[in-house]
A and B are shown apart, each in its own frame.
Chain A
Amino acid sequence: MKKFLFIISKSASGVSVQEALDQIMSAAAFDQAVSLLFIDDGVFQIKKNQRPDELGLKATTAIFEALDVYDVNAFYVETESLEQSGLTVQDLCLPVKLLARNQIAGFIKQHECILPG
């Protein structure tokens, strides 16, 4: 088993999120340890109360919430990114652990396969 880390750094944009989720679910389907790290505008991906249909997008927060079914439940958010986005953990649809910016490099090093989300 390898430790996969998907780093999600951009806000939702249709196919791009779906393709990240497909790869996340594929790694999980191979019984790998999968973690997700949300940084920069990536935190908006898991904001509650989105209205994606108005932009012709799929409701991807529902897929993020369903990742637990695949045993993907290690979700991390960079504290500074969350502050800059004006959100708090209460605004997010996933139960996340917060990491300070100065912990991110060390955290990434704990993983073997690092992929952009």
Chain B
Amino acid sequence: MKFTLQINSSPTAGQSGYYAYRFVCELITAGHQVSRIFFYREGIYHGYRYATPPDDELNFSRLWSALSQAHSIDLVICVSAAQRRGLLHPDEAQRQGKLDKDLADGFRISGLGQMIEASLLADRLIVFP
């Protein structure tokens, strides 16, 4: 089956992000396809390159980057949610006179249409609130 996920909570706000990650791992193991993960609302905090938790805690942006690379999963961060919270695509950061390159590897920034499109192509949409 083909799955699309939407993640709405930040890595530090509770277990939801971790459940989402485990769910994706299990889907892949079971032979399902995860075409796109859409990070919305506080979920955009999964995509910060420089998140630096202590070594004995999970580093979500690294986990997602590795998963994306290994299984060609499209990690899309909502542009409007991201800009509200200070996560800019390098091009947009430059346009606004900001220097940082905050987006982690494997993530891209795009619009809500990407989420709707992925929902239409998937057999199941699963939201992690």
How far, in Å, is A41 (CB) from chain B's closest CB?
A: 16
Among the listed B80, B81, B113, B119, which residue makes an inter-chain contact with A2, where contact means beta carbons less than 8 Å apart?
Answer: B119
How far, in Å, is A68 (CB) from chain B's closest CB?
A: 20
Contacts of A26 in B (CB 8 A): 111-113, 115-116
Q: Would A30 and B41 be within 8 Å (CB), given that A19-B81, A22-B80 are in contact?
A: no
- The answer to whether B119 touches A23 (Cβ under 8 A) is no
Question: Residues of A within 8 Å of B, CB-based: how many?
Answer: 17
Is B84 an interface residue when CB atoms closer than 8 A count as contact? Answer: yes
- The answer to whether A30 touches B127 (Cβ under 8 A) is no
Contacts of B116 in A (CB 8 A): 26-27, 29-30, 32
Is B117 an interface residue when CB atoms closer than 8 A count as contact? Answer: yes
- Chain B: CB-nearest residue to A32: B116
Contacts of A6-62 to chain B: CB distance below 8 A: 15-16, 19, 22-23, 26-27, 29-30, 32
Q: Would A22 and B112 be within 8 Å (CB), given that A114-B127, A115-B127, A116-B8 are in contact?
A: yes
B-contact bits for A64-105, CB 8 A (1 contact / 0 none): 000000000000000000000000000000000000000000
Q: Would A116 and B129 be within 8 Å (CB), given that A2-B119, A19-B40, A22-B80 are in contact?
A: yes
Contacts of B117 in A (CB 8 A): 30
How far, in Å, is A52 (CB) from chain B's closest CB?
A: 18
Is B10 an interface residue when CB atoms closer than 8 A count as contact? Answer: no
Give Cα A23 to B129, complex, Å.
14
- Chain A: CB-nearest residue to B8: A116
Q: Which residues of B are interface residues toward A (Cβ below 8 A)?
A: 6, 8, 40-41, 80-81, 84, 111-113, 115-117, 119-120, 125, 127, 129
Q: Which residues of A are interface residues toward B (Cβ below 8 A)?
A: 2, 4, 15-16, 19, 22-23, 26-27, 29-30, 32, 112-116
- 12 of the cross-chain contacts (CB-CB < 8 Å) are A2-B119, A2-B120, A4-B119, A16-B41, A22-B80, A23-B112, A26-B111, A30-B113, A30-B116, A113-B125, A115-B125, A116-B8
